[in-house]
Structure 1
Amino acid sequence: MGKIALTLVIIGALNWLLVGLFEWDLVSALFGGDSHRESSWFSRIVYTLVGLSGLISIRYLFADDARVRT
């Protein structure tokens, strides 16, 4: 269950990365809705940081044990 939750968090973070960098929402593009988002420069920075955190978190999907090593 933890791996599924982590996978969903990473997918969400990568979507925010796309919003932050390109103002494009992948989830809305796939499932309907307005896929182009206009955001302030500050919110785009926050979205990009969240997305980069998601990229870093991918390594935790492949961790062998339950403990997280940093």
Structure 2
Amino acid sequence: MGYSSASSGSSRNGEGQVLPSRLIDPRKLSVLLKQKFGRRGTGYKVEMRHNTYRIYSQRPLSPNELNGCYYGSCR
């Protein structure tokens, strides 16, 4: 699908990474975040507001990592 996030950032700068929720499967996103940043959820934080996910983590997720989180993707 190749959709890139609206903005990239980390918890260090307070902006977070913004993703449109209508394109992202929340189950797939949850699995990805646990794989990349830890099962306990201490390495990341997710907020949902105004139909967007804002992800605060040690680093932004890459477009390649996010490809598996879109609705209809096979991963």
Give the TM-score normalised by the residue count of structure 1. Answer: 0.26
Q: Which is strand-richer, 1 or 2?
A: 2
Instruction: Determine which structure has more spread, i.e. the larger CA radius of gyration.
Output: 1
TM superposition score normalised by structure 2: 0.25
